Amino acid sequence: MSSDSARINLTHHFLIAMPGMRDEAFAGSVVYLCEHSERGALGLVINKPSDINLRALFEKVELPTNQTDIGDDPVFQGGPVKTERGFVLHEPVFANPPDNTEPVYASTMTIPGGLELTTSRDVLEALATGAGPRKVLVSLGYSAWGEGQLESELAENSWLTVDADPAVIFDTPVPQRYSKALMLLGLEAWKLSPDAGHA
């Protein structure tokens, strides 16, 4: 068996920062991994709100909105890369008619596991009019690891990993997302030592 076939694929997993995480951008964070391959990994931090909300973001990109139900939702700090760009993680959106396999938005990545990541403005336009996906997490910036980088961080016990649960992303209050992600492993934060972990 080649080492390639034994490689772990953490797409649609959470990375949960261990208490000893020294990188300020990731301390106390839960990252949803959208993509993980031999070339590297890409994900979004799901529990670090920025100081702007969706209404302010819509104003910034000159999109009029009358959506009161989502306007107060925070825009998240998805990671330290391309912090001026928007990333929208959302439930799958199906085209009409349903057998149409064309993506609904101009630039959408389908994540094995059931979510989609859209980077084109049209998803924000849909959200502003109330026609977009119901379950969304909007972030500025993303998190990225180069080839082998995440694997070495895992070997250093910087992260715990667990299969992602979309309910943690979309239905859990932000301050509880770290502890809810840990609960998927049957762990509680106070039991974690800064010196221990597993890959």
What's this model's pTM, rounded to 2 decimal places?
0.89
- For 127, the enclosing helix (H) or strand (E) is helix 121-129
* pLDDT < 70 stretches in the chain: 1-6, 67-68, 95-103, 194-199
Residue 99 is predicted with a pLDDT of 60
Joined tokens for residue 36: 């993980």
Share of the chain above pLDDT 70, in %: 88
Residue 131 is predicted with a pLDDT of 84
Q: Going by DSSP bridges, is the β-strand pair 136-145/74-77 parallel, antiparallel, or unpaired? A: parallel
Is 121 in contact with 61 (CB distance < 8 Å)? yes
Q: Going by DSSP bridges, is the β-strand pair 159-163/13-17 parallel, antiparallel, or unpaired? A: antiparallel
What are the structural domains of the chain? 13-191 (3.40.1740.10)
46 contacts: CB under 8 Å, gap ≥ 6: 30, 31, 32, 76, 89, 137, 168, 169, 177
Q: Going by DSSP bridges, is the β-strand pair 30-37/13-17 parallel, antiparallel, or unpaired? A: antiparallel
Digit-coded pLDDT (tens) for 69-121? 777 899 999 999 999 999 999 998 876 655 655 668 889 999 998 899 999 99
Task: Please confirm whether the linkage preceding 97 is cis (ω < 30° from 0).
Answer: yes
Half-sphere exposure of 87 (CA within 13 A, CB side): 26
- Write the DSSP assignment of 151-171 as a string of letters: HHHHHTT-EEEEE--HHHHHS
